Structure 1
Amino acid sequence: MTVTVGHDSAKTRQTLTAGGKSVAYYSIPAAQAAGLGDFARLPAALKVVLENMLRFEDGKTVTVDDIRAFGDWAKMGGQNPREIAYRPARVLMQDFTGVPAVVDLAAMRDGILGLKGSAAKINPLVPVDLVIDHSVMIDEFGTPRAFQANVDREYERNMERYVFLKWGQNAFDNFRVVPPGTGICHQVNLEYLAQTVWTDKDQHGDEVAYPDTLVGTDSHTTMVNGLAVLGWGVGGIEAEAAMLGQPVSMLIPEVVGFKLTGAMREGTTATDLVLKVVQMLRKHGVVNKFVEFYGEGLDNLPLADRATIANMAPEYGATCGFFPVDDETLRYLRQTGRDEARIALVEAYAKANGMWRGADYDPVYTSTLHLDMGEIVPAISGPKRPQDYLPLTDAKASFAKEMEATFKRPMGVEVAVKGEDYKLSSGKVVIASITSCTNTSNPYVLIGAGLVARKARALGLTRKPWVKTSLAPGSQVVSEYLNAAGLQEDLDAVGFNLVGYGCTTCIGNSGPLQPEISAAIAEGDLVATAVLSGNRNFEGRISPDVRANYLASPPLVVAYALAGDMNIDLTTEPLGTGKDGQPVYLRDIWPTNKEIADLVHATVTREAFLKKYADVFKGDPKWQGVKVTDAETYDWPATSTYIQNPPYFRGMSKTPGTIKNITGARVLALLGDMITTDHISPAGSFKPTTPAGKYLVERQVPVSEFNSYGARRGNHEVMMRGTFANIRIKNEMLDAVEGGYTKGPDGAQTSIYDAAMAYMEQGIPTVIFGGIEYGAGSSRDWAAKGTALLGVKAVIAESFERIHRSNLVGMGVIPFEFTNGDTRKSLGLKGDEVVSIEGLEGDLKPLSIVPCHITYADGTTKTIQIKCRIDTEIEIEYVEHGGVLHYVLRDLAAA
C-alpha cells in the first residue's frame, strides 16, 4: 500500500536508522526547532495525533496553524478544541459491524454506476482487516464436543454472510478477512495485527515510519491502546468514510492523566483494577477525552493488564485509554512473535519522537487522577452497568437491595424446575461465562481461573446444575497455554469447556437456557443472574431470561458457577461441600499470585504465538470450502434474508440538497437516561411476535433459524424492524410498558416500527426525545441507520455518547441537546406534542443554538433553545448530502 504524505512546509522529515535499515519519519522535535510550538511535554497519545498533522500537512486539510494549535494546547493547560482532520493508518472490523459496512461498499459500487462513475473507484484506500468473531452462539456447552457443535451451527446459520464476506475479500483491494474460529478481533489485533510503529512506502517510493493508528467498528478497539497503538471505536458509517479516504473530523481532545502507583495485592486481579478505574473515570467525566495512564505503577503492570484497562475505555466513557511505549511494550512485542527489526524500530522511533515512557516522563495533562493499586480489592460490577462497582464483600447485600429498589420483587419465591431435583429463586446464577475480549487477552486471569477450577475439582466441587457455563477465549493461543498447563482439563471438569473463539455471552450470543429453566424463571417472574468476564452488562443484552448481570474476573466467574447464587457472600460463606463432607470456601481454592505467575512464565511463549498465527488468514476446511464469484459488483440474491441491497443510494442525484427546518414533527419515542445502543439496535435474539420476527416468518424462516439481530445486520429490512425493539426499553409515552412500543398517528399503542411507517406514509417527520448519555455503549452503526430509515429527523437529548452522535450525523439525522436546564421532564413532555425546529436553513454553523417550538396537546406552545450537535463544518456538509456515504460517493463519482 502507498501512503500519501503532505508537502511538509516546516521540513520536519528526518531519517531514522534502526533494525539494520533506514526509514524516513516526521520529527516532532524538528517541528519544535522550526518554531511551530513547544511540544516537549505533550502526552504521548497527543503526540501521535500531532505526528499525523506533520505527515499530512498540505495547506488544505491540514495547515501549519493546525500544528501550532498543539503547542497552544500545552500553554492553555491542556485544552484547545480546534477542529482537525485526522487520518488513521488502518481500519479494524468485526463481522457484526463489518457485514453492513461491506454491504454499503457493495451498494456504493451499484450507486456509482447510477452516477455514471466506475465501480472500481469504490475500494478501501487504507488497509482493512475484518475478523469474523461475533457469529458463534453457545448452543452446546459443558461437553467435549461443544466447540465443534457450535462451529458447525455457526456455518449453517451464517453461510450467506460468509459467502458475501469472501466475495468482498476477492472484490475489494486492501481488504482481508480473518476466518471464523480464529479469535476476537481485539485480541487478534493485539497479538498479531498491531505493530506499534507502522511502515509504508509513500508516493515517492520511500519507506516511511509512523505510529500505528486505527479506527475500529467495535467500541473496544481501544484494547490495543495497551500496546501504545492509538485506536478507538467508531460507527460503521465513520469507518467506511475513513476506509474511503475521508479524514476523521475531530477536535483536539483534552487528555486526562491517570497516575498509577504501587502494585496489586495478593488475591486481586486486573479485572478488580479495571472495574475500579471505570468507576473513578465515570465519576470524573471523560466523554470525548483521551485518557493516558502514567506513573511508576506501570512498572508493575504487565501488558495484558494494560490491555484489560484500555479495553474498557468505552465503559469509562473515554475516546481511548492509552499507555505510552516502554520496556514492557517491547517485551510483549517480542513474546507475541513480532519481528526483531520491528521491535528495534519501535524503540528507536518512540525515543526519537518523544513517545517513550522513561523515568523522566512528565507530560502536561488537562486534569489528573491517582490510584494506588495496593488499595484494590476483589470486586464485581452490576447489575446493569459496568460502572456499578461493588467490592465483593458487598455483593450479597447489594443484590438484596436491588431486588427491592430496582427489580421490585420479593425475595424467597421458589419455583420447581420440571424434571429436575432443584428449585430456582431470584439471585440464582444461570449463566457463568468466561467470555469477551476484556479478560481473555490476559493470561494471568485465565491461568487464575484454571487454577481455581483445579483446586475446586480436587476438593470435589463442580458447577451447580442450573448454571450454563462456557469458556470462549479471545484467541487460539489461550487454548495453547491452558492445555500446556494442563488446566483445560480442570476447567472441563467443572463445566468450562471450550465453546468457541469469539464474542459470545457479552454480545448476547449466550444461546438458549435449558427450556425447563427458562420456563421456571418466567413462571416465578424471577430475577435470574449472569456472571461474566465481559465488559457489558446492560439490560436485555446477555439473555432474555436474565435481568441482573454482573461483570467479574474469570476466577470469580468460576467461583460463582460453583456457588450458583448471588445470595452468597463469597468472602465468608462456603461455595459448597467438598467430597470429604467439609465446607469449601473461596480462600481454599484461590491461587497465589506466584502460582499464577510461574505458570504464565512457563506456558505463555513466543513459540505459541508464532504457531497459532502462522497462517491466520487460511481458515479451517469449512472456510476454504466457501465458493464465491470474482464479479466486480455483488449479485444480490433476492431470496436472502441476511444480505440485502440497502436503499440509501437509490435515485440519488449528482448534487447535494440543503438542510431544512423541521416542521410539524411528531414524537416517536420519549426515552430516559442511559439509553444505550443496545436499546436502540439490539444484537441478541428476538421472538416471532416482533416486527423482525414477523418479517422472517412471512419468508418461511423457522424460529430456530432466526439467529440474532447482530447476525442479520446485512439486511436493512430486519434491522429497521429491530430498531428500538429491545425488550427492556421503556418509552415514557406509555405507562408500565416495556419493549419497542409507542403510540401511532391514531393515538393507539403499536410497535415503534409500525408507527414510524404510518407517519412516513402520511409524510409526517418524527423526532426522538432522550435523557443523559443517549447512545451509550457499543459503536453500533445500525442504531443510527435504523433511526434514519424509520424517518426520524432529529434526536433531542440532554447529552450524547460520542460515537452515536457522530453516527447520527453520518446518517443525516440531526442530534440536538437541551440548554438552559431544560429536560423532557421539566418541559412536561408526554409524547403527544408537535415539534418544529427552526434556524437550520441558510448559513448553519457548527454547534448553533436554534429555537424549538413545542405545541402541547391542549394547544399551548413553548419555545426553547436547543444546541445543534453538528459539531464541525465537514459534518454540516455530510448532513447536506444526506449522510457521509452520499458525500463520499458524489466525490468519487466526480473525480
Structure 2
Amino acid sequence: MGTKNPGRATGTVTQQLIEAHLLSGRMEPGEEIALRVDQTLTQDATGTLVMQELEALGLDRVRTEVSVQYVDHNILQTDERNAEDHTFLRSAARRYGVWYSKPGNGVSHPTHMQHFGIPGKTLAGSDSHTCAGGSLGMLALGTGGLEVALAMAGRPLHITMPHIWGIRLVGELPPWVSAKDVILELLRRHDVRSGVHRVLEYHGPGLASLTAMDRHVIANMGAELGATTTVFPSDDAVHRFLHSVGRGDDFTELLPRPGAVYDLTDEIDLSALRPLIARPTSPGNVVRVSEVAGEPVGQAVIGSSANPGLRDFAMSAAMVKGRQTAAGVSLDINPASREILQDMTRSGATFDLIAAGARVHQSGCLGCIGMGQAPAAGRNSLRTFPRNFPGRSGTEDDAVWLCSPETAAASALTGVITDPRDWAAQYEVAPPDLRLPDRPAVNDAMLEAPLPPEEAARVGLERGPNISVLPDFDALPDTVEGPVLLKAGDNVSTDEISPAGARALPYRSNIPKLSDFTFTRIDATYPQRAADVGSGGHFVVAGENYGQGSSREHAAITPRHLGLRAVIAKSYARIHWQNLANFGVLALEFDDPDDHDRIRGDDRLRLSGLHAALAPDADAGTALHLTNTTRGEEYAVHHSLSQRQRTAVLAGGIIPALTRDALG
C-alpha cells in the first residue's frame, strides 16, 4: 500500500491545485471539501443523462470556463438509437453553451488534452478516466454525471479530501518497455483497491524521460487503482506538448515546492521494469509477460484512452512493417483521434499496419466499451485498454488481457503471447527509431463552438423516441424492509451492474429499458424479481470495493428505478458510492465484515429509524442496526455520508433535494 509518512503532506502539486480551488471544507484527509470547477467533460455514454439533468435543474447556460460534449463511445450505428443520441446531444450542447465534438473526432481524454487542457485548472468529467488530464498538471476528477451537471450549473464539486500518495520515479525505461508497463507495475504491487481516497502524484528525476503523452497513459489507469485522481507536475514536458499543438501560451509551471512531503510514498525504478500484462478479469491481476509467454492469441487491439498517443501506433506500425500477422489473429487498430489518423497516414504507419493485415477502425472507444470488436468466446484477446472486467468486451465468455502496444504487436505477429524483447532477439530487430512530427496535426474542424447566448436560447432539445426523461424518485421512508435480491462478493464492477456492450449501450438514454439489463451479468433473473417485489423496496449485499470501474451513474439509477433502497457492503469504490447517494440509495457498511457471510439471498432485512439517524444534525457516527427478520439476527452497520449527502438521500436524491431547497 506504499510507505506511510507519520507527518502530513505539504507542498505537493495536488495541495496547490486544491488550495487554489477550495470553496469550503478543511484540507484534512477524510473531510468533505467543495471545489470550484473550471472545465467539464462529458461523453455520449454518460452525457445524455447529464443533459437530461441540466434540463431537470432548469439551467439556461453553463457557468464553467469550458464544457465539452464528446461523442466517442456509442459510435457503432447498427440502428437509429445511437444516432438519436448524437442528435440529442448536439442540440443540448447548442442549447446550453457547450462545445460539441462530432462522432469520430476522437476519444474524449486525449482530444481534451490536446485542445482544452490547461495546467492548474480543475476538470470534472462524467467518465472515470478523466483523471488522464492530470498528465498536464490539472486536477482532473472522474465523477458521476449528476456531479458534472451540477458543476456545469456553477455549483461546487464535493469530494472527500484524499491522502496524497507520492510515487517517485527514477531511471529511464529500457527498450521494449513503455509507459503502460509503469502503471501495470503499480497495479502489480498494490491491486485495484489501493488508491481509494488517494491521489497518486508522480515526481522525481525519472519524469524527465517521460513525455506528456507517456504521462497520459499512466494517469489514465490511476482509475484502475480506485484513485481519486492522478497528478503530474506541469514542467518542460508539458510545455513542449502544449507548444507542439499551438497552445504554448496556455502553459503555467506547477511543481512541488522544495521539501514537499507526501502522506504515503513509493518508488519505481523505470530502468528495472520489464514488459507486464494483466491476466483476464481484473486490471490488478498483473504478471510479467515472460510468465505467460506461449499462450495462444486470437485478437490484439491497439488504441483506447489508455494508449492513445501517436507514439503507440507508430511503435506498433514499425514492429509489423514488412511482416504479416499470424494466421488466425485479428489485429485491430483504433486511432485515438482524427488527428492521429492523419499523422499515421502521412508518416506511412497506416499503410504499414494495413499491409501487415491490421484492420483500421473509427476514431473512438469502440472495443474498450464493448461497442464492436468483440472477441471470440474463450479466445485470448490482448488489448492496450484500461479494463478487462468479465464481459466488458461484448463477449460473455471473454478472455481479455491488458498490455502495452509492444507486447500486443509482438503477440499479433507470433500468434502467442510474446515478450517483445524475446521477439526482437529472435528476429534481430533493433528498437525502432521513431521520428514523430515536431508539429502534430491540429484539426479543430470537427469541434463545434458554443452558440452565442441569444441564439442558444432559441434552440430546442431534439429528443427521439429512445430518449426518456430523468425518473422521479420518492423520499426515503423511515423504515425500509424487503428481500435481499442480490448477494455478491468483492470487486463488483459497474460493468456488472449496468453492462456495457452493443446490446445495452444504445439504451443509455432510456432508463426504463436499460433497467432490463441491471445485474444480468451476475443474475439474469434480477430485473424480473425486482419488478415482482415492486416499489416496496429491496436490498443488495456485497463485499469489498463495490462499484469499481466506470463512473456510469446508470449503475445507481437503474437499480433504484427497480426499487433498490439500500446497499450493504464491506466497502465501496469512490464514484459509485457518490452516485448511490446522488440518487437516493442508502450506502451502508458492515461494522463487522464477517456479517456479510451471515446473510443469504432472499433473506428479508429491515432498517428502521432512518430519519433520525440521517438527520442533518445527527452524529456522523450514529449507529444503525440491520435486522435479518428471516434469521432473527441483527448486524451493526454504519454510513460515511456527509451532512449534504444525508440530506440528499432522505429527499430521494440530489435533484429532489434541490427542488425542495433542502441543500440551499
* TM surpasses 0.5: yes
Please name the residue that 1:587 is paired with: 425
Please name the residue that 2:370 is paired with: 508
1:300 deviation in Å?
1.7
Q: Of 295, 300, 316, which residue of structure 2 is paired with 1:449?
A: 316
- Name which one, 1 or 2, has greater alpha-carbon Rg: 1
Describe the SS at the equivalent of 2:485: strand
> Is 1:159 paired with 2:83?
yes
1:212 deviation in Å?
1.1
CA contact (8 A) 2:8 2:262 kept: no
Describe the SS at the equivalent of 2:191: helix
Normalised to the residue count of structure 2, the TM-score between the two structures is 0.91
Q: Which amino acid in 2 is paired with 1:125? A: R
Instruction: Report Cα offsets for 1:52-79 as digits up to 9, x if no partner.
Output: 12xx4xxxxx3xxx4xx44xxxxxxxx5
Q: Which amino acid in 1 is paired with 2:116? A: L
Please name the residue that 1:364 is paired with: 261
Alpha-carbon distance in structure 2 between the residues aligned to 1:673 and 1:284: 11
Please name the residue that 1:431 is paired with: 299
Please name the residue that 1:530 is paired with: 381
Describe the SS at the equivalent of 1:879: helix
1:478 deviation in Å?
1.8
1:327 deviation in Å?
1.5
- Aligned length, in residue pairs: 648
Instruction: Report Cα offsets for 1:806-825 as digits up to 9, x if no partner.
Output: 00000000001111233422
Q: Of 313, 323, 327, which residue of structure 2 is paired with 1:464?
A: 327
> Is 1:609 paired with 2:609?
no
Describe the SS at the equivalent of 1:500: coil
The 1:557/1:769 distance shift into structure 2, 3 A limit, reads same
Q: Which amino acid in 2 is paired with 1:176? A: W
Please name the residue that 1:220 is paired with: 129
Describe the SS at the equivalent of 2:87: helix
Alpha-carbon distance in structure 2 between the residues aligned to 1:86 and 1:290: 15
The 1:123/1:630 distance shift into structure 2, 3 A limit, reads closer
CA contact (8 A) 1:662 1:765 kept: no
The 1:446/1:823 distance shift into structure 2, 3 A limit, reads farther
The 1:507/1:669 distance shift into structure 2, 3 A limit, reads same
Alpha-carbon distance in structure 2 between the residues aligned to 1:282 and 1:361: 31
The 1:560/1:254 distance shift into structure 2, 3 A limit, reads same
Q: Which amino acid in 1 is paired with 2:517? A: G
Alpha-carbon distance in structure 1 between the residues aligned to 2:209 and 2:463: 54
Alpha-carbon distance in structure 1 between the residues aligned to 2:261 and 2:151: 30
Alpha-carbon distance in structure 1 between the residues aligned to 2:653 and 2:429: 54
Please name the residue that 1:563 is paired with: 414
The 1:785/1:485 distance shift into structure 2, 3 A limit, reads same
Please name the residue that 2:452 is paired with: none
1:92 deviation in Å?
0.3
Alpha-carbon distance in structure 1 between the residues aligned to 2:88 and 2:479: 39
1:803 deviation in Å?
0.2
Q: Which amino acid in 2 is paired with 1:647? A: P
Describe the SS at the equivalent of 1:386: coil
1:542 deviation in Å?
0.9
The 1:454/1:630 distance shift into structure 2, 3 A limit, reads same
Matches within 5 A, 1:278-289: 278-282=187-191, 285-289=194-198
The 1:250/1:841 distance shift into structure 2, 3 A limit, reads same
**Identity rate of aligned residues, in percent?**
26
CA RMSD between the two structures: 2.7
Alpha-carbon distance in structure 2 between the residues aligned to 1:540 and 1:609: 36
Alpha-carbon distance in structure 1 between the residues aligned to 2:240 and 2:307: 20
> Is 1:183 paired with 2:121?
no
Alpha-carbon distance in structure 2 between the residues aligned to 1:715 and 1:258: 42
Matches within 5 A, 1:581-730: 585-588=423-426, 592-593=430-431, 595-597=432-434, 599-600=435-436, 604-606=437-439, 608-610=440-442, 612-613=443-444, 615-618=445-448, 634=461, 636-637=463-464, 640=465, 642-648=466-472, 659-686=476-503, 709-726=504-521, 729=522
Describe the SS at the equivalent of 2:587: strand
The 1:629/1:224 distance shift into structure 2, 3 A limit, reads closer
> Is 1:125 paired with 2:58?
no
> Is 1:342 paired with 2:250?
yes
Please name the residue that 2:3 is paired with: none
CA contact (8 A) 1:846 1:876 kept: no
CA contact (8 A) 2:172 2:270 kept: yes
Describe the SS at the equivalent of 1:437: coil
Alpha-carbon distance in structure 1 between the residues aligned to 2:593 and 2:230: 31
1:879 deviation in Å?
1.3
1:275 deviation in Å?
0.8
Alpha-carbon distance in structure 1 between the residues aligned to 2:249 and 2:289: 45
CA contact (8 A) 1:530 1:546 kept: no
Please name the residue that 1:832 is paired with: 602
1:154 deviation in Å?
6.5
Matches within 5 A, 1:728-739: 729=522
> Is 1:846 paired with 2:663?
no
1:618 deviation in Å?
4.6
1:780 deviation in Å?
0.9
> Is 1:51 paired with 2:20?
yes
Q: Of 260, 266, 275, which residue of structure 2 is paired with 1:378?
A: 275
Alpha-carbon distance in structure 2 between the residues aligned to 1:509 and 1:670: 29
Instruction: Report Cα offsets for 1:115-143 as digits up to 9, x if no partner.
Output: xxxx5x44432232111001234xxxxxx
The 1:393/1:483 distance shift into structure 2, 3 A limit, reads same
Instruction: Report Cα offsets for 1:738-765 as digits up to 9, x if no partner.
Output: xx33xxxxxxxxx2111111111xx532
Alpha-carbon distance in structure 1 between the residues aligned to 2:428 and 2:217: 21
1:880 deviation in Å?
2.4
Q: Which amino acid in 2 is paired with 1:128? A: S
Q: Of 286, 296, 313, which residue of structure 2 is paired with 1:389?
A: 286
1:391 deviation in Å?
0.6
1:104 deviation in Å?
2.8
The 1:283/1:617 distance shift into structure 2, 3 A limit, reads closer
Alpha-carbon distance in structure 1 between the residues aligned to 2:365 and 2:400: 16
Describe the SS at the equivalent of 1:438: coil
> Is 1:864 paired with 2:635?
yes
1:875 deviation in Å?
0.7
> Is 1:269 paired with 2:64?
no
1:162 deviation in Å?
1.8
CA contact (8 A) 2:192 2:224 kept: no
Describe the SS at the equivalent of 1:806: helix
CA contact (8 A) 1:263 1:300 kept: yes
CA contact (8 A) 2:188 2:287 kept: no
1:157 deviation in Å?
5.2
The 1:512/1:83 distance shift into structure 2, 3 A limit, reads closer
Describe the SS at the equivalent of 2:68: strand
1:165 deviation in Å?
1.3
Q: Which amino acid in 2 is paired with 1:818? A: F
1:564 deviation in Å?
2.8
The 1:178/1:636 distance shift into structure 2, 3 A limit, reads closer
What are the ranges of 5 or more consecutive residues in structure 1 without an aligned counterpart? Answer: 1-37, 57-61, 71-78, 110-118, 138-152, 197-210, 348-354, 398-426, 522-526, 573-584, 620-627, 687-708, 730-739, 742-750
CA contact (8 A) 1:244 1:888 kept: no
Alpha-carbon distance in structure 1 between the residues aligned to 2:611 and 2:134: 41
> Is 1:317 paired with 2:185?
no
Normalised to the residue count of structure 1, the TM-score between the two structures is 0.69
CA contact (8 A) 1:665 1:836 kept: yes
1:183 deviation in Å?
0.5
Describe the SS at the equivalent of 1:851: strand
Instruction: Report Cα offsets for 1:623-679 as digits up to 9, x if no partner.
Output: xxxxx9986654655xx2x31223327xx8xxxx5x533333111100111100000
CA contact (8 A) 2:605 2:628 kept: yes
Describe the SS at the equivalent of 2:332: strand
Q: Of 545, 550, 559, which residue of structure 2 is paired with 1:787?
A: 559
1:82 deviation in Å?
2.8
Alpha-carbon distance in structure 1 between the residues aligned to 2:428 and 2:512: 50
Q: Which amino acid in 2 is paired with 1:387? A: G
Q: Of 320, 326, 337, which residue of structure 2 is paired with 1:475?
A: 337
